Structures are given as structure tokens and as C-alpha cells.
Structure 1
Amino acid sequence: MKLIIVFLTLLLTGCSPNSLEQYANTTPELKLEQFFDGKLKAYGMVLDRSGNVTRRFNVDLIGSWKGNQGELKEWFEFDDGEKSTRVWYLEKLSDNQYQGHASDVIGTATGTTSGSALYWKYDMNIESQGTTYQLTLDDWMHLIDEKRLFNKTDMTKFGFRVGSLILYIEKR
């Protein structure tokens, strides 16, 4: 029995998510109010749980900040011709803490930065083939330099990964 408990503990800790602390000394430092300010362009793809690309898209973004309040407008265009928009209302709570709301986000998105990384988590309604699913999204954003950022999102339902999203964002 002890062997099973040890094995399960190792298995669970081996699958734990990245820790923000490991990015504490990385540069440049990611500040949402600096990177997401002005015009940006993004390119991305959605992957199913097996890692197969199911959709590609690009996004035009415009961010603006007044004090600790930010607004990020996103215009999506998918490879199948679908278009959609989202507006994020962001708030800087403290030096490394942020929260956000959008019409398709359930509750409040919360995020923490450390060095060049951000961990952002939220629940979202996502429509697929006429059905709306409530998924949990775990975003990891990594600032490469002052003008480029990579984002990897794991999408889960009941704790199981059902897909992921990879996104490259560039300041204009």
C-alpha cells in the first residue's frame, strides 16, 4: 500500500503545472500595461487533445490603459472564414497581480506575473459545432523581447485536457 501511495504522489507531482517562481529572474519583465498598449497582431492555432491542428487564426488587437484600468479589444479571423470579437476589461491589482473580464469569460480571470512570464487562469464558454462548452483555460505567456510574446493555453474540462492553443503576439 505504501508503494502505491508513493507512486501516486510521484505521478501527481510530476504532472504539476509550471511554477511562476522559476521565471523570477528572467527578462524582459512582463507588464501587461506596457505590452498590451497600442496596436498588436497575433497568429495562432487551436489543437485537439491529440495535438492535431484543428483551426488557424489571426487577431488584430488594440490595448489602452488609464492608470490601473485596461481595455484590450480583439478581432479574430479564422481560416474557415468565421469572425468574432472579444473585449477584455483588465485591472492591475498590484505590482504582479491582474484580473480581467470579458463577455464569454465566466467570473473573473486572474493572473500573476514573474519576470518575463504570466500565468492567467479563467473559465470560458467556447462554442464548437453548435454546442457551447464551459472550459477552464490555463494561459502561460512568455515575453520574448519588448515586441514579441508567446502564449500557450491548455483547455480542460473536468480536469482533463481537451485541447490547447498556441499564439504569437507582436507589437506594431
Structure 2
Amino acid sequence: MCYALLTLGLACTLTGCASPDISDYTGREPAFAPEEFFQGDLTAHGVVKDRSGKVTRHFNATIDASWNDGVGTLKERFVFDDGEIQWRTWTLTPTSETTFDATAGDVLGTGRGKVAGNALNLNYTLEIDYKDDKLALDVDDWMWRVSPEVVINQSILRKWGFRVGSIQLVIEKR
């Protein structure tokens, strides 16, 4: 009996840590086509949270998005509440109808993205400045298209497998 309870408890704990699978969103509408949504001028508004869920910063961003010969470019400008400005330029390169590679100047290696239904999942390693040093964070980035003009985005930030923070934001087509 004790082993059965221990096994059940362990199974519940491991299941609680599992992430959704992109296939969970197959058939959901409105469909998320990156080359269609990430086109033209977009705005983003969001918060950065620490590992306890406390908001530590908020930001507004502009995104200039375009596609040329099937490759997407997203030029992002973030303005944080403390006045800091950050720039990031993403390059999205489709590798199939539902997958793509993603690179940016502060992304280590190549991110891998998948799309299904109204969802997009992108996994990458982001290098940030932290206490006069560089810190590499693993990012599990989820986006859900909730209307033709709006995407909700949640990014979970991890170091050595432990959750160290998150980012929530809304992206809107202008």
C-alpha cells in the first residue's frame, strides 16, 4: 500500500511538471501562421516576473516584421519602466510547413519552433547580462493567437532545469 501511494505521488509530481505538447492545439482557431501574423508593425506590452511570480519590470515594445524569400525578420525594440532600451532582431527560417529555426544576436545557437492550430512553441537559450556577467537561460516560449490581431505570449525562463522567472506579454497588430 505504501509503495502504491509513493508511486502515485511520484507520478502526479512528474505529470505536474510536464509541459503541454504543441499537438494539443491542432485544429484550434484562429490558425497561427507566423508569416501572416508577423507582418508589418506590431506592438507588445508585458511584464517580467521573478521565480516567485513577483513582477520585477514591465515594458512596451515595437516590432517591425517582414518576410523576404520565405525568411522572416522581426526587429524588436523594448522600452522598460526603468528607461532601459533593448534591441533584438530575430530571423525565422522555415524548415517544414510546421517547424522553423530562429536566431538572434543574444540567442546561443539556434532556437527550434513548431506551430499547430492557434499555438506556436519556440525553445532557445538566451544570453542576458546579469551582475556584470553573462547568464544563459533556457526559454520555453509559448504563443497563442486569440484573435486575428492579438497573440498572448508566455515565456518560462530556466537555469539548470529550475524555473528562475517568466515573461508574459500581449502582441497586437497595428
Instruction: Please tell me the TM-score bracket, short chain as reference.
Output: over 0.9
Amino acid at match of 2:51: R
Tell me the distance in 1 between the aligned counterparts of 2:12 and 2:172: 39
Residue 69 of structure 1 aligns with which residue? 71
Residue 57 of structure 2 aligns with which residue? 55
Instruction: Give the TM-score taking structure 1 as reference length.
Output: 0.95
- The answer for unaligned runs of 5 or more in structure 1 is none
Q: Secondary structure of 1:137's partner?
A: strand
Residue 157 of structure 2 aligns with which residue? 155
Q: Residue 139 of structure 1 contacts residue 152 of structure 1 at CA under 8 Å; is this kept in 2?
A: yes
Tell me the distance in 2 between the aligned counterparts of 1:137 and 1:14: 19
Structure 1 residue 95 displacement after superposition: 1.1
Q: Which of 133, 136, 139 is the matching residue for 1:137?
A: 139
What RMSD over aligned residues (CA atoms) do the two structures have, in Å? 1.3
Amino acid at match of 1:90: L
Residue 84 of structure 1 aligns with which residue? 86
Q: Which moved more, 1:21-30 or 1:149-158?
A: 21-30
Residue 108 of structure 2 aligns with which residue? 106
Amino acid at match of 2:126: M
Amino acid at match of 1:92: P
Tell me the distance in 2 between the aligned counterparts of 1:40 and 1:129: 32
Name the % identity.
Answer: 40
Instruction: Give the TM-score taking structure 2 as reference length.
Output: 0.94
Matched residues, number: 172
Q: Residue 153 of structure 1 contacts residue 164 of structure 1 at CA under 8 Å; is this kept in 2?
A: yes
2:30 maps to 1:39 = no
Q: Which moved more, 1:68-77 or 1:5-14?
A: 5-14
Structure 1 residue 66 displacement after superposition: 1.6
2:112 maps to 1:117 = no
